[in-house]
Amino acid sequence: MPSDGLQELFDRHVWGHFTTIKLPGVDSYRIMERGEGCYVWDTDGNRYLDGLAGLFTVQVGHGRSELAAVGAAQAETLAYFPLWSYAHRPAVELAARLASYAPGDLNRVFFTTGGSEAVESAWKLARQYHRMMGKPHKYKAISRYLSYHGTSLGALAITGVPAFREPFEPVTPGGFHCANTNQYRCYLCAGSCNLGCATDIEQMILREGPDTVAAVFVEPVQNAGGCFTAPDEYFAEIRAICDRYDVLMVSDETICAYGRLGEMYASTRLGYQPDIITSAKGLTSGYSPLGAMIVSDRLAEPFIGKDVSFMHGFTFGGHPVSCAVALANLDIIEREGLLDHVKANEAGFRAALEGLRDLPIVGDVRGKGYFYGIELVKDRTTKESFSKDESRDLLRGFISNRLLELGLLCRADDRGEPVIQLSPPLIAGPEQFDEIAGILRTLLTEACDRIGLDRGA
């Protein structure tokens, strides 16, 4: 279908998120029109394999009329009511459902509209909780270098990507950043892992003063930087450190929850018990916006029966339509056995990507579940990376555009070292893995030739 002048209207009026405003008509963005399963089509009729599930979001795939119908029915019944002083059926049922999936005593749910708000809510709750427990100076948040936790000024202070904070400094005071779990380029352990990345967090708590630290935020698999998994004992060690200094452990599962790693919550898959889980994205598969912070009973305890509320809320947090859609989305995940599907197929997905290792530009393949990153290098033996300019030229100048031409949507990211990231809908299977691997082989072969890497090496 022709774009009917949409491109011109886009060029003139739309301010894309995290995107440059291009000169009109130059390098314009694709305008997406419809989706079905793992595929989407743009307004010019081009088909793409959605290798990123929109933005790590569309767990059950595109075009589910069941979810559209549930949303419409809820809008007819009760389109809107807030969770301020009132409740509504979809929010109550969804909160109970999320509590039933969540590990341990995480039973109380605070709804938001997305991930940044969930992270911001977790930091604010940690501060108010400590204050109510007689420790008003515990306000700082520790997270990991290069981690992405959102864009509102509080969440941005937790985000560990300096370039994202820089235009808005000073952000909310109190954000501190420690080593991440980049095992491919670990500079903390000389060859054999001694959990230096966890020790770094303890050192930061001690340096800042345990009486000033409220919470540590970690992602089960860190997205920014390219799907960093953690060493086996890492999360148990972070739990122990948090307990030692009365610091709350927040598992930011905005990407990793709702099946991305093969369980409803990634902390379950990785075997750790956080005090708070923050989530969004896959909760509704993106059919309607919603986020959720799931909190330990222990943190709610000081608020119970007192004339004190958590002084925080959002008009659209826990919107009835979104909650109804989330319930139906979770029904699909359960009915179609998508958690087991991910666990049964993750090895095949990984193998398809590992198969690209014969190309000299592939330095590392890492991740878990349906969430992988491929790090690109100039020299595989030395792990020499690209300069900032080379990286920009390779990723933004070549790879991003070529991926679109080849019909694969995935992320080419240079926040850290250059990586290509994949996070397809959870319904993807061997057919899509082969298609992804085939397109990436074409792309990376061309990339090698473009930068003069010897493919015979």
* Contacts to ligand PLP by CB under 6 A: 114-116, 119, 148-150, 219, 223, 252, 254-255, 280
Q: Looking at beta carbons only, is 116 or 267 nearer to ligand PLP? A: 116
Instruction: Specify the residue, 120 or 375, whose C-beta has the smaller distance to ligand PLP.
Output: 120
Query: Do 342 and 140 contact (CB within 8 A), yes or no?
Result: no
**Element housing 6 (H / E):** helix 6-13
CB of 190 to ligand PLP, least distance (A): 30
Cβ closest to ligand PLP, residue 181 vs residue 385 = 181
Q: Which is nearer to ligand PLP, 114 or 367 (CB)?
A: 114
Distance CA 370, CA 290 (A): 21
What is the C-alpha R_g of the chain? 22
* DSSP H/E element including 411: strand 411-413
Q: Which is nearer to ligand PLP, 249 or 356 (CB)?
A: 249
Nearer CB in complex with ligand PLP: 219/417 = 219
Residues 293 and 54: beta-carbon distance below 8 Å: no
Cβ nearer to ligand PLP, comparing 56 with 386: 56
Segments in 369-412 forming alpha helices (H): 388-392, 400-406
Strand pairing class (140-144; 213-218): parallel
Minimum distance from residue 150 beta carbon to ligand PLP (Å): 4
What is the nearest approach in angstroms of ligand PLP to the Cβ of residue 348?
25
CB of 434 to ligand PLP, least distance (A): 28
**End-to-end CA separation in angstroms for the chain:** 45
CB of 113 to ligand PLP, least distance (A): 8
- Which residues, in sequence order, are CB contacts of 76 under 8 Å at separation 6+? none
Is 214 strand, coil or helix?
A: strand
Count Cβ atoms below 10 Å from residue 46 Cβ, excluding itself. Answer: 14
Q: How many CA atoms lie within 13 A of 347 on its CB side?
A: 3
- Closest approach of Cβ 255 to ligand PLP, in Å? 5
Cα 116 from chain centre: 11
CA distance linking residue 273 with residue 255, whole number of Å: 18
User: Which residue type, as a one-letter code, is found at position 338?
Assistant: L
Q: Residue 211: CB partners within 8 Å, gap ≥ 6?
A: 135, 137, 138
- Nearest-approach distance from CB 134 to ligand PLP, in angstroms: 30
Nearer to ligand PLP, 252 or 263 (CB): 252
Other Cβ atoms less than 10 A from the Cβ of 430: the count is 12
- The neighbouring-strand residues paired with 371 are 368
The nearer residue to ligand PLP, 83 or 250, going by C-beta atoms, is 250
CB of 239 to ligand PLP, least distance (A): 19
Angle at 19 between CA 18 and CA 22, to 5 degrees: 160
- Choice between 219 and 375, CB closer to ligand PLP: 219
Please tell me the distance from the alpha carbon of residue 188 to that of residue 182, in angstroms, as a whole number.
10
Of residues 161 and 362, the one with the C-beta less far from ligand PLP: 161
Would you say 83 and 318 are in contact if contact means Cβ atoms under 8 Å apart? yes
Q: How far is the CB of 151 from ligand PLP (least distance, A)?
A: 6
Of 366, 342, 340, 369, nearest in space to 353 by CA:
366
Nearest approach in angstroms of CB 341 to ligand PLP is 23
Cβ atoms of 451 and 355 closer than 8 Å: no
Query: Taking the complex as a whole, how short is the minimal distance between the CB of residue 312 and ligand PLP, in angstroms?
Result: 16
Burial class (CB in 10 A: 0-12, 13-18, 19+), 173: exposed
- Using Cβ positions, the residue closest to ligand PLP within the complex turns out to be 115
